[in-house]
């Protein structure tokens, strides 16, 4: 499996949550995973209910089987200071530049350089080896920028081409791109079964393919269960109104006669059922769009209104089942079966075990 897992998605789709759950899933059975944040939002610290992450790799969780999850919040200014020390041995002079505001100026005026620094730090962790010449981390998971700018963020070589034709910056960008465009990397896109996130996912996939960046999977997040099938909806809306009222009455909700409480509850219930049916149809349409992308897509369930640490571990278990190829399918690719069980929309293979492009 690819060693660098990049997770992107439209804002509000839960990409940080999916990245965190993926890091936990990959860290099972004694593996070591580094979870990297590049946007400065401290979303990882909030999910793991810990204090704000410093600019250092810190263990934040233990996965089933004794694996470990480390986290790093990459700061562009600090990364540039490291870079200046590494290539130019500036030391105290670099810190003086920071005090003068030169570091902030450099990372703001040249966003391409900033992205080289952010992606470069993650790629360095992918390549890093210990004294035994073993990889320091089995996997690195990057909580990346949203889908709308993920291709530009990852395609750093093109971004710095106009800034540095040669020299350390140029060489660093090329080294980063060798990792990002290799079988070591996969880019996963998180979406919801809603029109705007799905369309942004489609656009993002097209841009990533054009840039020849290695695609992974589409992860459909926060899928709600289907409570009624179409036959039940049609029956309730038609000749079975009396039966519905009688069932409500038998459940202790008042009289089924006209004007009784049970009878008066039928219309509000049918309105909710109609809204549910409409949502189911819209979701089916979006599943059809995702099924045409020629990528593996699978679903993760909606877990309550506010995700806590226990919910995060539950999502990691869903992902872990896919990694092992043991998650039950339970339905056909059209989405007509029971959703929300983590099943794939397109084909059951989970996250690709073989790295590279899909």
The mean pLDDT value for 190-212 works out to 96
Cα 110–chain centre separation: 27
Within 10 Å of residue 227's Cβ, how many Cβ atoms?
11
* pLDDT in the model for residue 331: 37
The answer to whether 3 touches 139, Cβ cutoff 8 Å, is: yes
Q: Give the lowest-confidence range in 169-178, 186-195, 253-262.
A: 253-262
Query: What digits encode the pLDDT tens for the residues 337-355?
Result: 434 444 444 432 333 333 3
Hey, CA dihedral for 322, 35, 309, 193, is it positive or negative?
negative
The mean pLDDT value for 303-309 works out to 80
Question: Rounded to whole angstroms, how far apart are CA atoms 46 and 14?
Answer: 13
Cα 48–chain centre separation: 16
Query: pLDDT band at 96, cuts 50/70/90?
Result: very low
* pLDDT in the model for residue 328: 56
Share of the chain above pLDDT 90, in %: 41
Cα 136–chain centre separation: 23
| More confident position, 335 or 5 | 5
| More confident position, 218 or 274 | 218
Q: Give the lowest-confidence range in 83-92, 147-156, 234-243.
A: 83-92
* pLDDT in the model for residue 268: 73
Query: pLDDT band at 188, cuts 50/70/90?
Result: very high
DSSP-based three-state secondary structure for 9? strand
Q: What is the pTM of this model?
A: 0.79
* pLDDT in the model for residue 211: 93
Query: pLDDT band at 136, cuts 50/70/90?
Result: very high
Query: pLDDT band at 259, cuts 50/70/90?
Result: low
Q: What is the mean pLDDT of the chain?
A: 78
DSSP 160-204: HTTT-SSSHHHHHHHHHHHHHTSTTEEEEEEE-SSHHHHHHHHHH
- 84 secondary structure, DSSP code: H
Query: What digits encode the pLDDT tens for the residues 284-297?
Result: 899 999 999 989 88
Taking CA atoms, 94 is separated from 38, 99, 106, 236, 324, in Å, by: 22, 9, 12, 72, 47
* E-assigned strand segments in the chain: 4-9, 32-37, 58-62, 68-73, 139-143, 185-191, 215-223, 297-301
Query: What digits encode the pLDDT tens for the residues 16-66?
Result: 999 999 999 999 888 999 999 998 888 999 999 999 988 889 999 999 888
The β-bridge relationship of strands 139-143 and 4-9 is: parallel
* pLDDT in the model for residue 185: 95
Within 10 Å of residue 163's Cβ, how many Cβ atoms?
13
Tell which residue, 35, 14, 38, 13, has the closest CA to residue 145: 38
Query: What digits encode the pLDDT tens for the residues 162-175?
Result: 566 666 777 778 88
């Amino acid at each position: 499996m690819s060693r660098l897992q990049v997770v992107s998605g439209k804002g509000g789709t839960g990409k940080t949550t999916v990245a965190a759950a993926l890091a936990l899933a990959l860290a099972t059975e004694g593996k070591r995973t580094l979870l990297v944040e590049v946007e400065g939002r401290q979303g990882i610290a909030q999910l793991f209910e810990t204090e704000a992450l410093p600019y250092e790799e810190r263990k934040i969780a233990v996965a089933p089987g004794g694996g470990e999850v480390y986290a790093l919040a990459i700061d562009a200014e600090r990364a540039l200071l490291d870079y200046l020390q590494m290539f130019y041995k500036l030391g105290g002079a670099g810190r003086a530049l920071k005090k003068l505001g030169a570091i902030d100026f450099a990372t703001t005026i040249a966003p391409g350089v900033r992205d080289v620094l952010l992606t470069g730090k993650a790629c360095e962790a992918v390549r890093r080896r210990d004294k035994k010449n073993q990889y320091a981390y089995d996997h690195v998971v990057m909580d990346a920028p949203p889908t709308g700018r993920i291709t530009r963020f990852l395609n750093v070589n093109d971004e710095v081409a106009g800034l540095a034709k040669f020299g350390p910056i140029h060489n660093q960008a090329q080294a980063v791109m060798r990792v990002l465009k290799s079988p070591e990397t996969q880019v996963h896109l998180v979406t919801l079964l809603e029109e705007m996130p799905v369309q942004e996912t489609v656009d993002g996939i097209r841009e990533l393919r054009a840039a020849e960046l290695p695609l992974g999977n589409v992860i459909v997040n926060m899928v709600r269960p289907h409570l009624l099938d179409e036959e039940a909806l049609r029956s309730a809306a038609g000749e079975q109104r009396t039966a519905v009222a009688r069932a409500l009455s038998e459940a202790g909700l008042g009289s089924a006669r006209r004007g009784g409480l049970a009878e008066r509850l039928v219309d509000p219930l049918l309105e909710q059922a109609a809204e549910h049916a409409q949502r189911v149809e819209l979701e089916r349409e979006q599943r059809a769009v995702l099924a045409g992308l020629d990528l593996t897509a699978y679903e993760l369930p909606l877990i309550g209104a506010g995700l806590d640490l226990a919910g995060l571990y539950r999502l990691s278990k869903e992902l872990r089942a896919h990694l092992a190829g043991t998650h039950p399918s339970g339905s056909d690719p059209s989405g007509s079966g029971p959703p929300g069980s983590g099943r794939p929309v397109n084909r059951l293979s989970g996250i690709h075990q073989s790295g590279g492009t899909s």
